[in-house]
Structure 1
């Protein structure tokens, strides 16, 4: 056996040969040449098809003429089954014209029986070339996939900052609405706006995390609260012929994971179900239940079921393949992202679907440890008492909204769009009780502004507005608020910094 290439290892060869004696001689020759192989002999079309339907082969070795069957027919059957599997003729009757025809029809090589010494090297070369071709195709697919993900990463990184700035008002305005009105309809509208803003911002972050392969912090989540948020966000996506039924889960049913990611996952599955029922309508059901696996592990099963068009076996087999989609405008990343979210929480996702009879997605998630868990109460903020707050923020929309929010809470905001203007404001209005400074201001950095403030005698606390992934620069501050800024978080940080809240 030639050793010019990489070792072949154990291989399986299908022999298409009617003579048992010739097959034994051929097998003996290949084994003596050093080939580590397992052989299966067939001598007819049906036997060959049955053999190919079983365990895979590395090569087909065929005689040219068989009673009632031919090597050309064998080659045609193989090409229907697997066009890339190597096929070698080993015959005593093949002529030059027939050999050329065989190669034109897809045979890898041909060897004459009266010159059998070339057979081992021809077999080894055909197997190696087929493997090399498969590896090359796999490498090309992985390269294309990697390039597409890299492009997606660049796109996500470029859009993330701008999208968060655009969505910032959706996080601040609802709190201002609650300050100016007690109308329950307006407050409910504000809740929808706020939840949509959070979801939009966190989905941008989630996409960035997806392409970077990072994970978000885990938390204990109330399934009832999660379902309530999903139901609220789906209201605008339901058509008249689609009914959403949320089966209330037990109040103490909990899961572990990232709240936003699970919210995104359930909404994705629900929207898929809604779209599957777009033409004929039906019921979309969201439910949850605790269960115990055979090994005693406790799980929580979140179930999304629809009465839509369903899926065939081929579609189900590719559901979680990157960029596979059945939608004209789909990205092919939604279900893959759901799978990543579930598996990052040490769970699994299962799908049951029948064409024409609907689909059921089940998320099997390990139940959290039985520790005491208390849902956070809504914050009740104190009156600002006219305390002067220096607010320095380079984003004009956020600066205006936060200034209005601080004023509505009883503070006296002094607003500046950049570091130089902040120092001018201090010179005119005097030192503040507290400073709120964005890390991304222009002209003078936040650190430079703080240094000048201290030289001027400012001794009050500082609250910094930071990007989620940015590290502190070493300057002391009473608190940091992560952007996009939520008014509750900012008010809480200010009150703690001023000692208004214990």
Structure 2
């Protein structure tokens, strides 16, 4: 490097310049112009592609000034060489009359600026601006990379938490079935024995009352167990969705039409089963609570390697202003789960004309879908998972 004798005139770090120029006179003019502008700088002149590549590998520069026509190559060749290495400093095309078309081509490639040698007085300003723009772009790219990394960490954490929740649900369901359910059943047998063998009317009356309350407890434990993790999931997604529809129909008296293609009964990975099942469960819960519907339709299919579940009702729909509720997390969480599985969740609704919730998930071996999960139907949900 050739230090600038006037670099002490500024407290800034000297600007490191790589000058691609075969004319010593033009190079001297560049140095003189930068010095007169009191721009602290260090500059290196090269006039061959080999030297240009060597200095790029050896040093870090803030800006590259490049003449257009050089012996055996052009500034475009130098740009392509630097571009192949990646992370190069901004290029400023500093040349004579090269023609508007060549200048436009250079700018389209990504040159930071273009300056005629006849307008050399503007060089310091052009250099400083090119460096500022490049630094701003690098800062923006770094911020974008940091944001993407942060989102990836949050997504991984959310996936870990969701997996943990599902594992806990399954463990609690097993404990309810094996321990609590077994104990309640044993107590019921003992009470039944007392009912059969007791001769005191009062004791039998108390035993009858206790049996009724015990049956309520058994029913409640079974309902909780099934909500946590229904064993029917082990029989496949189609069977689980059918059980969910039948249970919903019995509980709410709302007719549910289930359309399930035979291919959809094929083996689906457990993780995708849970995403689809929880989507149907959440949609039916919201329909029961808010939709005021008279009928429900559920469609399950796996056309072209994509598992699709659609839950549609003919209820009151969702008002547009309710779609931006900040504290509605039910289907938002499901949309995130679908996105992590490589799919998407879509909610479409019109006031007075019902709501349709669709989740699409790529099956193993199929091309991945673009992830564009839409906001959940906050107008028909509350803060629930």
TM-score tier after normalising by the smaller chain length: 0.3 to 0.5
TM-score scaled by length of structure 2: 0.42
Decide which structure has the larger Cα Rg and report it.
2
